[in-house]
Amino acid sequence: MDGLIAFEEHWAIEQTLAGFSEANDPDGNWRNVRQRLLDIHDMRLSEMDRNGVEMTILSLNSPAVQGILDVGEAVETAKMANDMLAEQVAKRPDRFAGFAALPMQDPDAAIEELTRCVRDLGFKGAMVNGFTQKDVPDSAIYYDIAEYRPFWAAVQGLDVPFYMHPRLNIPSRAHSYVGHPWLLSPAWDFGIQTADHTLRLICSGLFDEFPRLQMVLGHLGERIPFDLWRIDHLMRQVIPAEKEIGDYFRSNFHLTTSGQFHEAPFRCALAELGAGRILFSIDYPFEQFAEATSWFEGTELSDADRLKIARTNAIDLFKLDLS
């Protein structure tokens, strides 16, 4: 179908490719992936045209800014990348929009940069690549801690979504993968890291304090929908939040189809959240337009639900003007 909107679609600048591990490219096709990450208006736009994708919201590759140890460098890299993305979007605002990259090493700087990106650059929200490293390589900062509460207040106040994207674990903290390097990869560790971070945020009471906050998870929810009943069944009496985890998941989260073009996880996510909170996406260039669109066109849905997932959910969530 035509008119698709996709928004877990990655680009890069040379500075963010330096921290990108080839483990994120399991097929060993790094040269091709690198070329496509650096491209916006040529190969990418051609793929969009061929596959019925009207608009793409672009975001930096993982881990990007979250992997920069020096705080000042992280702040400057985020600003540079966001300015460069704004310049590219301005060339074709009918086809592209942007997510802010944020220096989460400094919550105040992240607030300032998100505010600038939304109000001055017209970005549609933020995509952050999981936990942040700071000062030393063996560090991992999660955003459920108290010093990030002002940041979340700013996100809610700006009324834009926050996309929590995966990143690989730090090898020194990935002891369960020793001898099994294929598990420290997007196929497994991506989902584990993001699910852990998401559950930390929910259990911290974040959404009790900021009930209008809206978040996005890719890959049909990073495996959480499959376990949602069991999570609530075993944790409802012990978490320091006012409601069950499933309640927050259904009211504060949206899931995308990025990198999960298969009926079983799709039906599970659809059953748990409903068509109003699922959105089409691809995960380009790590996944291909043709595979994503072919699967989506072939899946059995009502016309109304197909339109929601393909287009109107994204228009509403990101306040897109596609008239």
Q: Which of 140, 137, 153 is nearest to 104 (CA)?
A: 140
Q: Which of 73, 260, 63, 291 is nearest to 269 (CA)?
A: 260
Q: Which residue has the tokens 């790590």?
A: 286
Do 117 and 126 touch, CB atoms closer than 8 A? yes
DSSP character for 140? E
Task: List the beta bridge partners of residue 129.
Answer: 165
283 is catalytic: yes
User: 132-134 and 136-141: which strand pairing?
Assistant: antiparallel
**Considering 283, 303, 316, 321, which one is annotated as catalytic?**
283
Do 10 and 59 touch, CB atoms closer than 8 A? yes
What six digits make up the tokens of 58? Answer: 């672009």
Do 129 and 65 touch, CB atoms closer than 8 A? yes
What six digits make up the tokens of 286? Answer: 């790590």
The 8 Å CB, 24+ separation contacts for 38-44 are 38/11, 38/12, 38/13, 38/14, 39/11, 40/11, 40/88, 40/96, 41/88, 41/91, 41/92, 44/9, 44/11, 44/284, 44/285
Dist CA 51 CA 292 (whole Å): 9
Dist CA 75 CA 52 (whole Å): 36
Dist CA 95 CA 43 (whole Å): 14
List the catalytic residues.
283
